[in-house]
Amino acid sequence: MVFRNGDEVEAKILEIGTEEIKYKKYSMLGGPDFVCLKSDVFMIKFENGTKEVFEVTESEQTDQIVSGGNDFATLYFIRPKRLATSRPEIIIGTVVPDEVILKLKNGRWHKLEYHNTGNIDFVTGIYAINPEFFSVDIKAGETYYFYCEPAAEVFKVMATMKLIEKEIAENHMASLKEQPTTLVR
């Protein structure tokens, strides 16, 4: 499946409904069923070589015009500078879809156009993934500032994140370097 935001997922398609597509990730066919909005999918390339392209409907185009065309939220991830020997990158991912969206370096901030909306469960980690989700209701056209830092728990080195206000984020970002965009796959 090729999503409108450019992401690709190898999947076994279970059902193509009028508004949703049910699938299993090819790497975990025995795992859970996943569901995505049909409007988020650009095309499905089948094993036999055929393709099914999903056109944007008039109502979806109207929704995009009404919302100013922003079909994404802007996310800022901020990691304060610690000692030069500080732990390696903080991994930031999501539960559904199960993906790593960023590896944030020490003393950096990163701006991301994020195309998934709704209630998103974020997870963080360094050497171990924090078992606690950080849930945020992401809305297209909105801007969010996340403060991420290492947190040690007994023998597991994990990371935490929290939402912070724009002014606080800008103060932190002024003393940090921007982390360039790199694709995480």
Statement: residue 185 has pLDDT above 50: no
pLDDT tens column, 75-109: 999 999 876 556 688 999 898 888 888 899 999 99
pTM: 0.60
Tell me, yes or no, whether 92 and 159 share the same domain: yes
On whether residue 164 sits in a domain, the answer given is yes
Tell me, yes or no, whether 109 and 164 share the same domain: yes
Mean pLDDT value across the chain: 83
On whether residue 77 sits in a domain, the answer given is yes
Give residue 66's pLDDT: 43
Which residue type, as a one-letter code, is found at position 97?
P
Specify the CATH number for the domain of residue 154: 2.60.40
Q: How many CA atoms lie within 13 A of 159 on its CB side?
A: 30
DSSP secondary structure letter of residue 166: H
Give residue 67's pLDDT: 43
Helix (H) or strand (E) holding 160: strand 156-163
Q: How far is 121 from 31, CA to CA, in rounded Å?
A: 19
Residue 144 Cα to chain centre, angstroms: 13
pLDDT tens column, 20-63: 899 998 888 888 888 888 888 888 988 888 888 887 655 444 44
Give residue 171's pLDDT: 94
Q: How far is 109 from 69, CA to CA, in rounded Å?
A: 26
Domain hosting residue 6, numbered range: 2-55
Tell me, yes or no, whether 174 and 126 share the same domain: yes
Q: How far is 28 from 10, CA to CA, in rounded Å?
A: 10
On whether residue 62 sits in a domain, the answer given is no
Nearest of 55, 32, 40, 31 to residue 8 by alpha carbon: 40
Q: Which of 52-56, 116-120, 135-139, 173-177 has the lowest mean pLDDT?
A: 52-56
